[in-house]
Each structure stands twice: as C-alpha cells, then as structure tokens.
Amino acid sequence: MISVDAREKLKSIVGNENYQDSNEMKLVYSYDATPNFQSLPDAIVSPKNTKEVSELLKTCNEYQIPIVPRGSGTNLAAGTCPTNGGIVLLFNHMKDIIEIDEDNLTVTVQPGVITLDMVNAVEEKGFFYPPDPSSMKISTMGGNLMENSGGLRGLKYGVTRDYVLGLEVVLPNGDIVQTGGKLAKDVAGYDLTRLLIGSEGTLGIITEATLKLIPMPEAKKTVLAVYEDLESAARSVSKIISDKIIPTTLEFMDQSTIKVVEDFAKVGLPVEAEAVLLIEQDGPIEVVERDMAHIEKVCKEMNAISVQVAQSEEEADALRTARRSALSALARLRPTTILEDATVPRSEIAKMVHAIKEIEEKHNVTICTFGHAGDGNLHPTCLTDARDHDELKRVEQAFEDIFVEAIKLGGTITGEHGVGEMKSPYLELKLGEAGVNAMKSIKQAFDPNNIMNPGKIFAKDERKRVVIG
C-alpha cells in the first residue's frame, strides 16, 4: 500500500499523468511472460529523466515502497512480476539512442530503447552489436542489461555483459553513480559495471549505458543439419567445437519443437526429423567457407541425413526468426508452457540431452527441448496445464531433477533468463550457502531497506526446496 502522503510526493516528482493506479493499469502490469505468476502493483510510474528516477528512489526508500523496474515484460523467471506490490517503474519516456561514437566504437542509450531499434541504428552505420535475445524485437536494452541477456550468437560473441563499457546508475538512496566509460581498460576500483549487469533490478536502476560495438563481419553463411536421432545432433555439437571451430550460432531443436515452429513460420523445416541444428558462421569469406565445409563434413560423419545451405540472407533470416519463435510456438500444444534454461559446459551437451529424455519418462511429463546447443544453454520446455495440479507437481519434480543433473555436470540452474522469483528456491543448489550469503551481503550493502525488486533472486524463506542427496 502506498500512503496518501507518499502518493502525493511521487506524483509531484513525475506529474499526475505519469503516475497511474487504475485497476486497468494495475492489472496489465501485474505479469510478465512467466506462467503462473501474477500480482497487482500499487501504481505504475513513468519517469522522464535520471533526476526523476533519483527522486523517486529516494522517496520510495523513505516510505519503504518496493520498486519493480520493467522494460517490455518478457521476463521468463517472474523477475518483472510485482509479487510484493509497490510501484512498477516504466522507461517509455527514456528511450533515446543518445550517441553513436564512431571514433570510440560505442553506442550510448537510455534504458527504454528497444533492442532491435538500437541494433538497426548501429548496423546502418556498419557496426555490429552481437547479443540477440529471441525477444530482441520487443525487449528493451534496460531489460537486457538487468538480465544479462544472451541469445543465438552467444557461443562466439558472448552475452550482453561482454559489451557493456559504462553505466549511469541510480542507487536506492538516490545517489547517481557513473561506472566505467568509453575505455578498453579501466581498473579503478571494483567493477561495479559487471556487478550491476544481471542484477535483475535488485541493486539499482540503470538510467544510461555505453555499449561496445564491433565491426560488421564481412560474410555469413547458414546451414540446417537434419538428424534421425537426438544424440547424433548433440554429438555433432561437441565434435564441431572440439575440432576448434566456434560457429556464431549453433542452435538445436527436437522434433516436437520443429513441428510447431514449422506450423507457425512455414519455412520448410523437416517435420519428420528427430532433431535439427541451425549452424551459422561469420567472418572473412575464406574462413567462413573453410569452417562451413568442415562443419558439413562433421555433421555427415555424425549421421546427419542432410545438410542444407541457406540460399540467401532472407532464407537464413527466416530460419533464425523461426527458431526465435520456438518457445511461444510450443504454447500451441498445451495451455501452459513452462521453460527452463539449465546450462552445462558445452562438452556435456549430449549427456544433458540424454538425461532430459530420461527425466521426461520418469515423471511422465512432456518436455520439448530446443536451445543454444553450442554454448550448452538448453531450453527444456514442459507442456502442461496450470489447472492440473497433479501434473504440475510432476513438472516441478522433473525440473528439480534437471537442475540437479545440470549442476552434477558442472552446469548452472539458469544460463540467461535469470533467477527471478521462479528459480529463487534453487539458487542455493548452484551457489551453496556461503555463495548465497555473500550475495545477500552485497544486496544488503546496496539496498538496506530491500526496496529494489524484493523477493527476486533470493528465496523468501530459508526452506530449501531442493536438497542434493
């Protein structure tokens, strides 16, 4: 609840039109893309600049009002669901591309800019910003930074974190801090930039970011390798990488995923295949040709039925776009789609795919798997019905098993979607008690009143839902 006094203060900062608390508005900011999570905020606030953000945070800190920063609400771990009420902070007035610096190869943006809009703007000038989360057409850069988003090109080019040079951040006490800068080297003190990236809105609000750009690769080639069984596809992935080739993209889809994606996108995917790999390489033309020839050879050695080369950039783009729609397309099959992003070292991918199959059978649930096979980041997706509590319980058990298996193989509970509230009970599985405590002390130091996205990352109670045997 927001007191009358606090409400008047918040309104005076942003103006009446930027403070909304109708039932309608509260409802549409009560969710993100995570199934089974919904909770009404008390108000929705749209600041226009850093100064307003600072004043808002100061006031919220004073009145202990929770703040949930929200980009476009595509989070998959309930990270943007206001489960503790409070205000949802929007950035629809802060969406400018401030500068593209062609001398320093950087772009400076406000948090509300749509990822793809920024990508298009820099590409127009011949630059390349590689992170490409599947939601890039919708997501904001603020969201990408707070979640340290990955994407299809993570294998070769890394993730959002690897492209952030500097930030302007507002801390819960209202302080405005500049971290990093247009610098390739900078060791002045702790690396606050990296600490903030992926902090899921729990430490402060990013109001400006300076990102690194690289030159656009000269050539690109895309192939689709088709398999009669899952493991051959998985073994191809490991073999390609152990042969010292790092493709830009190495995406995997199993048969159920292929079917629904084809149903939606109609790009000619082989619906009879058990698995496909979408492989891309970019760079100087000679290197691309050489790598692709080798990749083709490896796939065929690993029993690929066929390896087709995309004939044009349009065709390649259609395949990428189709792959990006995988999660949402799976929603065609059952009312509820729950997805995880357990990640393992890339050498363990075949074992992980195999383990997921066994877990699926053991718990009698339906799991479709797709994902970024090349960087070990799989997206096992459970198709279920939120109204069937018995099945939902089995789904939860299956996911626990998947997390345990991933950790056993040296992996993690989440590769790119974040912990949010959904995976908070499993954090200790990955970090251990000491690890969680270390993180909690950081949180305490930045946000002693726990106003920044409370309830996220750290489980509400100490009860561990998963115990490793």
The C-alpha atoms of residue 175 and residue 48 are separated, in whole angstroms, by: 17
Nearer to other proteins among residue 33 and residue 419 (C-beta): 33
The C-alpha atoms of residue 179 and residue 218 are separated, in whole angstroms, by: 33
DSSP letter assigned to residue 217: P
Nearer to other proteins among residue 166 and residue 418 (C-beta): 418
Nearer to other proteins among residue 19 and residue 31 (C-beta): 31
From the list 66, 80, 92, 84, the residue with the least C-alpha distance to 6 is 66
Q: How far is the CB of 327 from other proteins (least distance, A)?
A: 7
- Contact residues toward other proteins (CB under 8 A) are 22-33, 35, 38, 40, 72-74, 90, 92-93, 114, 135, 137-138, 261, 263-265, 325-329, 331-332, 335-337, 386
Nearer to other proteins among residue 22 and residue 64 (C-beta): 22
Nearer to other proteins among residue 33 and residue 122 (C-beta): 33
Nearer to other proteins among residue 93 and residue 290 (C-beta): 93
The C-alpha atoms of residue 241 and residue 246 are separated, in whole angstroms, by: 6
Nearer to other proteins among residue 252 and residue 458 (C-beta): 252
Q: How far is the CB of 199 from other proteins (least distance, A)?
A: 22
Q: How far is the CB of 35 from other proteins (least distance, A)?
A: 7
Q: How far is the CB of 361 from other proteins (least distance, A)?
A: 25
Q: How far is the CB of 321 from other proteins (least distance, A)?
A: 10
Nearer to other proteins among residue 22 and residue 49 (C-beta): 22
What burial class does residue 104 get, using C-beta atoms within 10 Å of its C-beta: 0-12 exposed, 13-18 middle, 19+ buried? middle
Q: How far is the CB of 115 from other proteins (least distance, A)?
A: 11
The C-alpha atoms of residue 242 and residue 301 are separated, in whole angstroms, by: 14
Alpha-helical runs (H) found in 307-420: 313-324, 326-330, 349-362, 389-408
If you search the block for the tokens 């850093």, which residue do you land on?
Answer: 50
**Within 10 A of 295 (CB to CB), how many other CB atoms are there?**
25
The C-alpha atoms of residue 285 and residue 432 are separated, in whole angstroms, by: 46
What burial class does residue 17 get, using C-beta atoms within 10 Å of its C-beta: 0-12 exposed, 13-18 middle, 19+ buried? exposed
Q: How far is the CB of 112 from other proteins (least distance, A)?
A: 8
From the list 34, 19, 2, the residue with the least C-alpha distance to 456 is 34
**Within 10 A of 137 (CB to CB), how many other CB atoms are there?**
15
Q: Is the dihedral of CA 439, 440, 445, 448 positive or negative?
A: positive
Q: How far is the CB of 334 from other proteins (least distance, A)?
A: 9
Nearer to other proteins among residue 72 and residue 199 (C-beta): 72
From the list 183, 210, 206, the residue with the least C-alpha distance to 195 is 206
Alpha-helical runs (H) found in 32-90: 50-63
Nearer to other proteins among residue 11 and residue 137 (C-beta): 137
The C-alpha atoms of residue 200 and residue 196 are separated, in whole angstroms, by: 8
Q: How far is the CB of 133 from other proteins (least distance, A)?
A: 12
Nearer to other proteins among residue 288 and residue 339 (C-beta): 339
Question: What backbone torsions phi and psi does residue 210 show, to the nearest 5 degrees?
Answer: -105, 125
Question: What backbone torsions phi and psi does residue 109 show, to the nearest 5 degrees?
Answer: -130, 160
Q: How far is the CB of 25 from other proteins (least distance, A)?
A: 6
Question: What backbone torsions phi and psi does residue 378 show, to the nearest 5 degrees?
Answer: -95, 155
DSSP state letters, 258-318: HHHHHHHH-S---TT-SEEEEEEEEESHHHHHHHHHHHHHHHHHTTEEEEEE-SSHHHHHH
Nearer to other proteins among residue 40 and residue 431 (C-beta): 40
Q: How far is the CB of 41 from other proteins (least distance, A)?
A: 12
Q: How far is the CB of 143 from other proteins (least distance, A)?
A: 11
